[in-house]
Chains A and B, each alone.
Chain A
Amino acid sequence: MASEMTSSAYISHHLTNWTFGVHPEGGLGFAHTAQEAAEMGFWAIHVDTMLWSVGLGLFFIWMFRKVAKKVTSGVPGSTQNFVEVIIEFVEDNVSSIFHYKNALIAPLALTIFVWVFLMNTMDLIPVDWIPFLAQKIGEAFGADPHHVYMKVVPTTDINATLGMAIAVFGLILYYSIKMKGLGGFLGELAFQPLGKWMLPFNLFLEIVGLLAKPVSLALRLFGNMYAGEMIFILIALLPFWAQWLLSVPWAIFHILVITLQAFIFMVLTIVYLAMAHEDH
């Protein structure tokens, strides 16, 4: 595939989302180039990110719901066993970090862990397979294959990670105000860590700290996955007989990264929400 275009075109093609939005010249439609996608601005949507993330999320709830429907406290089947291992792992983490009564936290942590893990796992599918397939399908539907974009790893799209991080941020604000009251929450922002005489400084420090939470959540996951994907793309530029020398070790290493990133996102969410519940 790389032979058909220059390396930079190949890379940029792989890093462009399948975007649907308002064309700058007017009219709804899919973006045909990376530049066009950028010009669409905020009022556009990444169809591939939505497709893969929602698809994987549905896969997650389908699989777990299937187990939940015929769950037994007797001898579990192999799927139930697998699901139970994950749930117990999440539950252990939640109960060791989060000591308040809240029915939302554990399912939230489970959803984050499994969903992010599934989205990250798409990284292990060879980088050209699905985009190539998408191009063939697009061609069959009469589209120019060079204008068919398909990014299969939703977590390499900043929108996906930022979306989740903003949702978590919303929960942080909600529980902070719910547990401490609006006054308590604002007081925490204004009078810590240095007391009321340093109020502007405190406010600045605490607000930066507060905003850093969702931003770091989003950027850590995005950065790791984007960099990993980038390496795979660069490896794919090598001659085909040499690729496995690098892609196999990198993929094996990446198994660790995708699990670790899913785990970190989950744990940090639990930690942030535990902090939101904490009353000083």
Chain B
Amino acid sequence: MNINLTIFGQIIAFAFFVVFCMKYIWPPITGALVERKKKIAEGLDAADRAQRDLELAQEKAIADMHKGKEEAAAIIEQANKRANQIVDEAKEKAREEAARLVTAAQAEIDQEANRAKEVLRAEVAALVVAGAEKILEASVDANAHAQLVEKLAAEL
């Protein structure tokens, strides 16, 4: 157990290592550790916030979906109503048109019948006159009897 200069050698070496450690090793590494702790805390915070945001977004999505469904239902109902209305209107229009067509046809038919009657009446008058001429074998003054003939024709 010789105690000698080695003690001082050790003290010098020890001092050198401690100072080196204090200046060049400890600060950067503990700095990185502190920074990582901060990063992790921030990361956890962000995750919490994201979780909350997600919950809010889900709630909002569900609410939006409900609202959308209600709106869609309202739109469909409205559309149905409108469709019924359109159909009713069309029916009404068609009925009116039909009535109008029927009336017009009727009027035309009446007109046509009247015209036929006129033609027929004129022909009958002529025939009657001719017949009477034959019977009387004399000419009948058409002008003189025109009144009579017309009266006759009107009775047909």
Q: Are B22 and A107 in contact (CB under 8 A)?
A: yes
- A contacts, CB < 8 Å to B: 17, 19, 21, 37-38, 40-46, 49-50, 53-54, 57, 60-61, 64-65, 67-69, 71-74, 83-84, 87-88, 91, 103-104, 106-108, 110-111, 115, 157-160, 162-164, 166-167
Q: Are B5 and A43 in contact (CB under 8 A)?
A: yes
B residues less than 8 Å from A74 (CB atoms): 36, 39
A residues less than 8 Å from B39 (CB atoms): 73-74
Residues from 11 to 25 in B contacting A, C-beta threshold 8 Å: 11, 13-18, 20-22, 24-25
The 5 closest A-B pairs by CB, nearest first: A163-B10, A159-B6, A73-B35, A107-B22, A107-B26
Question: Do A65 and B5 form a contact, CB below 8 Å, given A73-B39, A84-B33, A159-B10?
Answer: no
Contact of A71 among B7, B10, B13, B32 (CB under 8 A): B32
Which residue of B is nearest A38, CB measured? B2
Q: Are A50 and B32 in contact (CB under 8 A)?
A: no
Contact of B8 among A69, A72, A163 (CB under 8 A): A163
The distance from the CB of B155 to the nearest CB of chain A, in whole angstroms, is 124
A residues less than 8 Å from B28 (CB atoms): 68-69, 71
A248–B28 Cα distance when bound, in Å, is 40
B residues less than 8 Å from A72 (CB atoms): 32
B143 within 8 A of A: no
A residues less than 8 Å from B5 (CB atoms): 21, 42-45
Q: Are B4 and A164 in contact (CB under 8 A)?
A: no
Residues from 26 to 62 in B contacting A, C-beta threshold 8 Å: 26, 28-33, 35-36, 39
Q: Are B21 and A110 in contact (CB under 8 A)?
A: yes
A37–B4 Cα distance when bound, in Å, is 10
Q: Are B11 and A166 in contact (CB under 8 A)?
A: yes
Q: Are B11 and A50 in contact (CB under 8 A)?
A: no
Q: Are A41 and B4 in contact (CB under 8 A)?
A: yes
- 12 other A-B residue contacts (CB within 8 Å) besides A73-B33, A167-B15: A45-B4, A45-B5, A50-B10, A57-B13, A64-B25, A71-B29, A74-B36, A88-B33, A163-B7, A163-B10, A166-B7, A167-B10
Which residue of A is nearest B13, CB measured? A54
A86–B90 Cα distance when bound, in Å, is 91
Q: Are A158 and B1 in contact (CB under 8 A)?
A: yes
B136 within 8 A of A: no
Contact of B11 among A19, A54, A65, A163 (CB under 8 A): A163
